[in-house]
Structure 1
Amino acid sequence: MTIISLPAAATPLVNGAACSLPALIDRARTRLAEARTSAEILEVRAAAKAALHYAKLLEAANETQADCLLLIKRAEIRMADEIDAAQQRGEVARADIHGRGIQSSVRTSDTRPTTLNELGLSRQRVAEWREMRDAGEAVVDEAIQAALDEGRAPTNADIQRAVKGGHFRSHFTGENEWYTPAPYVEAARACLGSIDLDPATAPAAQETIRAARFFTRDDDGLKHEWHGRIWLNPPYAQPDIARFIVKLLAEIAAGRATEAILLTHNYTDTAWFHAAAGQCAALCFTRGRIRFVGASGEIAAPTQGQAFFYFGPGIERFRASFASFGFIR
């Protein structure tokens, strides 16, 4: 695992030329989705940190600073996974209770595992990244959104407090469930003809969705077969979102689910997003962010855009129903 350190720059450069903030953020987001090594992930993190520094100098909008911070945190979550995988492969030494790297019995320069210190990473930093990863991406999103709701730019301290203290709004539990606005549900109904099953929902949401059959959290939709035309807006916290998407793909492969529309955040750097994108027939990236509706009627907007995945033979129906919401590929 090769780690590189990049100097922060006041004015970010791309190929030697000054780059606008939106272009820099878009480029970093794309690079994170395409990153395959720890070095590439850390390059994205460095670029996002430079962009955040630049945004603060320019007094850019709170939302722009939030986009930069979100990219930094996504990269750090990815790094936690990379380090764990490298330690399992024996490429990076594990630390003992005193913080020393535990080396293999063969200590030649060619075979001994690299230590975190040699990689330029402290145990504390890696521990923070792991803690944030284990808390889940939704915790980071909620902490950032809470700051924006207060009319200010989010900070690292906001995220650390949320991760350590759980001070965030949880998704799809009790009074804190967020429902898809009616226009998007009606577009799904127009595409599918009708909705046979909603496997991750709440009774209140069915006032809009009106699925022939549905499973709530208590029902645990993962334990049942999914038949017919599926509408799925899964819980967005890990590991639930990955489990629901794996289940959807399995039901489609088994032939029980005949058509499906899946709604998620556009987490293009995650394995589950790539799995769904690799098997769907069409994909709509929303223009702007969906303003989800709370159980009490309150409105909340996430910190990133969304994506609708379509599975089935009716690609033209999907295009006709969702073209007004964003870009379709």
Structure 2
Amino acid sequence: MYEFSVIGGKTAREIIGASRPQIVDVVRDTYLAHHAGDSVNPDSYFLRFPEKPDARIIALPAHLGGTEGSTEVSGIKWISSFPANIERGIPRASAALLLNDYETGYPFACLEASQISAARTAASAVLAAEQLTGGRTAGKLTVVGAGIIARNILEFFKSRDWTVSSVTVHDKSEEYGAALASYASESLGYQASTESSLPSALKDADVVVLATTAAEPYIVDLESFVPGQVVLNISLRDIGPELIDGAYNILDDVDHCLKANTSPHLAEQKYGSRDFITGTLAQVVKGEVTVGTDKPVIFSPFGLGVLDLAVGLHIYREAQESGRAVEIEDFFGETTRW
């Protein structure tokens, strides 16, 4: 009960790299557990700074119930988003995940969590693409935003054996766009190139991945997306409300996603209802809702803390079994009441 482990980012990345297909399955099972009510996932809490309006640190507390083959676990992810870091050449996000034992409440592990956050985000994106396209094939795959999240998403596509004819990368920075295209080509084996024009990048794409740091919509042309196109709205705020209203909309969790001026939240504010929402990804997995090809299909995941718990627990177990977790002796100063 008094054991406490620390798992660093390098170890987490190694475990993620060796188990991406399984992590997609972990995310799928977690969505289904959440849909069944076997979770507690409160609102995220935002720490903001008057002098840095674009920066924030977010607390995501959650509890995941004991689904078959798993152990009940609680915890919290503490993740910062400082977009100005990009100008310094360092990652925008950094994070830590604390896991707590459900029986006693004692924390038993602390994990570097930027890797976990990126992995669960990428896994949910690829899971959505599989469910919404009905397969693992895309002619043209367009990625808007060439950061760490975009790289992880492409890695997860590759790990799930997606057949992709071409990858097109669009980013404001030619340097970052070229770096991701080169990585997709040289490390993942995709035919990849960059495109400086956003409309050209979006045109004829079967799947579009939006992974930017945009704070407000910039994709507002009603002709931006076409019927049948699957748009993974990972960064949540790129798309204007009019485009949301004209699409099939799949969310990870309705109440969570309709806040903080996400694109779906802007649509709710503009139109005064939630009629534009088709359902959740769990409902798609279970066959409770379907999408057609007569409109674009947009997946908007707010990001659930239970996903961090599930992926973090997977990494913790793998690190423990392989001897890569660092045990901290005497972490707790008192282990008896008297």
Structure label with greater radius of gyration: 1
Greater RCO, CA 8 A, separation 6+: 2
**Normalized against structure 1, the TM-score is what?**
0.32
TM-score (ref. length: structure 2): 0.31
Kindly indicate which of the two structures has a greater share of residues assigned to strand.
Answer: 2
